[in-house]
Amino acid sequence: MKKIDVSATRRVQGSKYPPPHDQQCRERVRRVLGDAAGLTQFGVNLLRLPPGAWSSQRHWHRAEDEFVWVVEGEVVLVTDDGEELLGPGDCAGFKAGDPNGHHLLNRSTRDALVLEIGSRDPTDETDYPDIDLRLKTQGFTHRNGTSYK
């Protein structure tokens, strides 16, 4: 059988961000769909953002492309260019190496559901332009390169 039972997929709540950067993402929930299908070249997640939750800290990837598509509800896409409201059927993409950081915020009063697709490059590094945080292959670091403990 190839059909994926979404309710049986791995459920991941919150983030791996070191405190205090994890606070805004604690209530987000991802269903890991790509792993359930055995995909290895790109990831697919179904993200549920309750009211007030963030998809991530604002970030950009050096080696990975990302794509999001809003399935239900509405979210605010925040980039260097400002804010855009995205509703059902709206989508956005983020090219690897473009330093225009992005993230999604749920400012509405109901849950939002977003399909996330991204490449899986093991050499990728992620920059977080608004905070003292970077993600390198060895883990999270401060901008000066020292590890979070």
| Beta carbons within 8 Å of 37's beta carbon, 6+ residues apart | 2, 4, 44
pLDDT averaged over 10-residue windows placed end to end, the chain, 149 residues:
91 96 97 96 97 98 97 98 98 98 98 97 95 92 89
Measured distance CA(1)–CA(27) in Å, rounded: 32
Domain extents in the chain: 26-136
pLDDT of 1 reads 62
CATH number of 26-136: 2.60.120.10
Q: What is the pTM of this model?
A: 0.94
pLDDT of 149 reads 72
